[in-house]
A and B are shown apart, each in its own frame.
Chain A
Amino acid sequence: MTDFTQLGVKDIRDGVAGGDFTAREVAESFNAAVAAAAELNAFIVTTPDHALAAADAVDAKRAKGESLGKMGGVPIGMKDLFATKGVQTTAASHILEGFKPEYESTVSQNLWDAGAGMLGKLNLDQFAMGSSNETSYFGNVNSPWKKEGTNSAMSPGGSSGGSSSAVAARIAPAATGTDTGGSIRQPAAFTGICGIKPTYGRCSRWGVVAFASSLDQAGPMARSVEDCAIMLEAMAGFDPKDATSLQMDVPNWEAALNADLKGKKVGIPKEYRMDGTDQAILDSWEQGKAMLRDAGAEIVDVSLPHTKYALPAYYIIAPAEASSNLARYDGVRYGLRDLPDGAGLQDMYAATRAAGFGDEVKRRVLIGTYVLSAGFYDAYYTQAQKIRTLVAQDFEKAFAECDVILAPTTPTASFPLGSLDADPLTMYLNDVFAVPASLAGLPAMSVPAMLNPDGLPLGLQLVGKPFDEQGVLDAGLAIQQRAGFEAQPEKWW
């Protein structure tokens, strides 16, 4: 059997369309790779039959000379936050263990309609809360990468850690992610792949298990900028079932990709130069500037003065929304129900939620409940919303002076699983560079830049104006072409 697992989205789509190989061959190849990679724990459930059925449908269409779709023949991993009809959807939680929706999320349906198939449901941080993929009820996800000279299990980042691990390990050519405060970009950076969070509202949230509704955005994770562009086109689009969905046509990002940045200005936000940032990260940022300058862009300094308030504001707003969004998991209608002998309704709620939610989820529900409580609301939630507005205004002002912003994706490279167990605040700091763009609803992408001295990938982040995914992808492509990031994790699983 030919091994197709080195191929990305574009290669597979074009190869299938051109008759170089069949979609079924590709699906079989990836199904086998998935089956052999159980040690990564990237998948919660695998769905090889789904991948094969989708592949066969594409092959049949090709035989009839029909159009195969934007993702025709590409098997992907589906983050287990997206509802998939008849396939267990858990958000990596115990409380939803065994839950099989009667419906398909808009984004996953869009992908199936575009000819993609599903390899399985990818592990993640429980309810997308986490930055290391250690909060899943179904166990940690292992990064395929190892710190040079060590054998410690490394974090693939979070919350889309199953997605990043699978794509980096070449057991899926691409995967869906969701990004609330960095959950696509940070794991992409940790594993040497690309991931883009589009403008808030580009991808429908319908059928995506909600974490923080005003921030949640789906996006693709893949190994190249082109692959991200292709897959985002398939995922995005107005959805009347989501009141926050953007009523805009989906641009043809792939066709318009252009790494020539002549006439473009790239902003460098001085506030992102923070204490505690790795030297290697700062070095990669410098290299990024040089690459974009080489692509024809002018590098300008910009200021995002409220950056330091963004993370605290995020950790008020996101838990506040989460505390309310997760109230529906109550043991009444679906999912786990823990009904101790003689228990009343309140006892059932308490027992069900105590057993069904993990520690990090409980922590955020408690924080969120606290900040919304009478007497604290104004001091926390109202203030945080004001900061959110100021952060968005920072970007507006900065984008008067530049077209796209370049920054590191994360302050550090990946870390060993378990190393931050006792320190949730340091864990939260992982998202310090990612959160501002989330609060402002802006398109933002991480692309691999280089390996650090420990042999771990580092990512660079590009943040664009509202609706300007194209500008972000173009700058990402310019970096990709110059960084020449070809490193792959050595297979140990």
Chain B
Amino acid sequence: MSTYRIQGATGEWEVVIGLEVHAQVTSNAKLFSGASTAFGAEPNTQVSLVDAAMPGMLPVPNRECIRQAVRTGMAIEAQINAWSRFDRKNYFYADLPQGYQISQLYHPIVGEGQLTIEADEKAGIPEDKVIGIERIHVEQDAGKLMHDQHPTMSYVDLNRVGIALMEIVSKPDMRSPAEAGAYVRKLRSILRYVGSCDGNMEEGSMRADVNVSVRKPGEEFGTRTETKNVNSVRFVMQVIEYEANRQVDVLENGGTVDQETRLFDPGTGTTRTMRSKEDAHDYRYFPDPDLLPLELEDSFLEECRASLPELPDAKRARYENELGLTPYNARELTAEVETFGRFETLLAAASAKIGQPEAKVATQVANWALSVAPGVVKSLGDEANMANATAEAQAAILAMQDKGEISGGQAKEIYEIVLKEGGEPEAIADERGLKQVSDTGAIEAKIDEIIAANEDKVAEYRGGKDKLFGFFVGQTMKAMQGKANPAVVNQLLKAKLDG
């Protein structure tokens, strides 16, 4: 249960949030035409006759887009509708050449599903929470108007026209900005795992329509507003915060919330009316007569399912249960496709190099990947040549450390050199003397000197002042110029002092 509340003059208010996320389907071609979908091309260079809605042109569904929507549905444990249909949503606008958007109102391809957002005490999410997903449907994107190209006219860029979008509609299950933020992040993570959307919010590959209403806890849902086209997690949270407070103000001042469409202004963090319910379009939805119902065969569905990768929740569970990672490390490593990709590559390399099963070395590798290595990279700044950050080099460093040949500090030093200059970690360790001494003779000699020079402290230690053990370790390491193997030092000291 979220404890997020708006404190109003009349008491506490609860926020109810639903999100409609538009995710651009990863596909080289558009939903109903063969035109390219690459981002950043010159205006109107990626437009087919179909996209431009020339007379007599017809849409033909792109199998890859359908496949990605189905795989996404499977990834959120949703019902896949083997029979679905495309509808036309009719309205006039200059960025919509057909005069209608081909969408799916009545029979979407994906039905009810869900995803889980993880507990995050700091964010006010005390426990894992399941967020329901109402549906996913596929539809065409529109073009873009440019108002700054001419003093009296607007220009139209049709490059985006007809690109496939998935509209992923949540249930009104979220109760705080943090939950909504976590939902978008989790959804983005799933989409990126599946490979059905690159999740790039700046380029507009993912954007959200944010539905917000407020109510006194336990009462019926209030009237909601819909804020369109919000393109970052932070903005989604800002919209909710702003809208919830605005609505509470309205209600507490005796007003009513209008069911309306609003726009977010990232500059001020506020929303404003875009169009009211009275101005709402009548979209005159009806089945697109140019397209037959979409019927998915069992073999197609099986192929979609078989092609799904391990998904975030399963991977996180495996990291915790099979690799023995801490919940924190497991979550950090599984959040992003790139992170777990690098981790798994390094884990395999380190496991091979060390000659131990992955589960035995996973914690060491995770600590390296999450804190040690990023720390080195950060300290080097521009000096780090990330092309040198190969799994092989890092595995070699981890293997030397595992064998006790190098200390943690030496591991960092070697990695610094690798990043700056390149080279084999083993050779660097040898050539630059970055190895720790495990030769008991050399260490024993130094220990004997230290014991001789500190007889008073030896007596205190033997008298029961155990804490002094650390002093002797420190003196020994100092005498060895930090290159002694701490485990050997410990062992020898123990024997000499206790013996």
Contact = CB atoms under 8 A, between A and B. Distances in A.
A212 B286 CA distance: 13
Interface in A70-124: 82-83, 89, 91, 96, 99, 101-103, 105
Contact of B284 (A208, A330, A373): A373
Contact of A345 (B52, B61, B94): B94
A328 B286 contact: no
Interface string B48-65: 010011111111110000
B285 to A, nearest CB: 8
Contact of A96 (B55, B58, B98, B286): B55
Given A101-B54, A103-B49, A244-B292, A330 B92 contact: yes
Interface in B241-257: none
B97 interface: yes
B218 interface: no
Interface in A308-341: 320-321, 323-324, 326-328, 330, 332-334
B99 interface: yes
A397 B286 CA distance: 29
B290 interface: yes
Interface residues of A, number: 44
Contacts of B99: 324, 326-328, 330
B64 to A, nearest CB: 15
A330 B60 CA distance: 23
A89 B61 contact: no
B383 to A, nearest CB: 53
A227 B290 CA distance: 30
Contacts of B61: 243
Interface in B51-83: 52-61
Contact of A242 (B58, B97, B100, B285): B58
B41 to A, nearest CB: 19
B286 A372 contact: yes
Contacts of A258: none
Interface extent on B, as a size class?
20 to 34
Nearest to A349: B92
Interface in A208-234: 208-210, 212-214
A137 interface: no
A243 B286 contact: no
Nearest to A204: B58
B97 A333 contact: yes
A204 to B, nearest CB: 9
Contact of B55 (A91, A374, A377): A91
A89 B54 CA distance: 11
A82 B58 CA distance: 14
Given A105-B56, A243-B60, A213 B290 contact: yes
A262 B133 CA distance: 62
A241 interface: yes
A205 interface: yes
Contacts of B97: 328, 332-333
A91 B100 CA distance: 21
A209 B60 contact: no
Contacts of A381: 286
B52 A333 contact: yes
A83 B282 contact: no
A210 B61 CA distance: 19
A327 B281 CA distance: 15
Contact of B282 (A91, A96, A374): A374
A96 B289 CA distance: 23
- Name the residue among B56, B92, B289, B292 with the largest chain A CB count within 10 angstroms: B56
B140 to A, nearest CB: 14
Interface in B88-102: 88, 90, 92-94, 97-100
Contacts of A418: none
Contacts of B289: 212-214, 321
A206 B156 CA distance: 25
B55 A89 contact: yes
B174 to A, nearest CB: 29
A327 B286 contact: no
A240 interface: yes
Interface in B271-318: 282, 284-286, 289-292
Contacts of A101: 54-56
Given A102-B49, A328-B99, A83 B90 contact: no
Contacts of B57: 206-207
Contacts of A191: none
Contacts of A327: 90, 92, 98-100
A369 interface: yes
A334 B286 contact: no
Interface in A436-459: none
Interface in A415-471: none
B53 A243 contact: no
Interface string A360-404: 000000000100111001000100000000000000000000000
A188 B98 CA distance: 33
A327 B286 CA distance: 14
Contacts of B59: 243
Interface in A3-25: none
A318 to B, nearest CB: 10
B55 A328 contact: yes
Contacts of A206: 56-58
A292 B93 CA distance: 56
Nearest to B95: A332
B54 A103 contact: yes
Nearest to B291: A243
Contacts of B60: 240-243
A332 B55 contact: no
A241 B32 CA distance: 10
A209 B94 contact: no
A243 B58 contact: yes
Q: What are the nearest 9 A-B pairs in CB distance?
A: A327-B99, A214-B289, A372-B284, A213-B289, A328-B53, A207-B56, A209-B55, A213-B290, A374-B282
Given A213-B290, A327-B99, 17 more contacts: A101-B55, A101-B56, A205-B58, A212-B289, A241-B58, A241-B60, A324-B100, A324-B286, A326-B99, A328-B98, A328-B99, A330-B94, A332-B97, A332-B156, A345-B94, A346-B92, A377-B285
Interface of A: 82-83, 89, 91, 96, 99, 101-103, 105, 205-210, 212-214, 240-244, 320-321, 323-324, 326-328, 330, 332-334, 345-346, 349, 369, 372-374, 377, 381
18 contacts: A91-B55, A101-B55, A205-B58, A206-B56, A206-B57, A208-B56, A214-B289, A241-B60, A323-B90, A323-B284, A324-B99, A333-B52, A333-B53, A333-B54, A334-B54, A372-B284, A374-B284, A381-B286
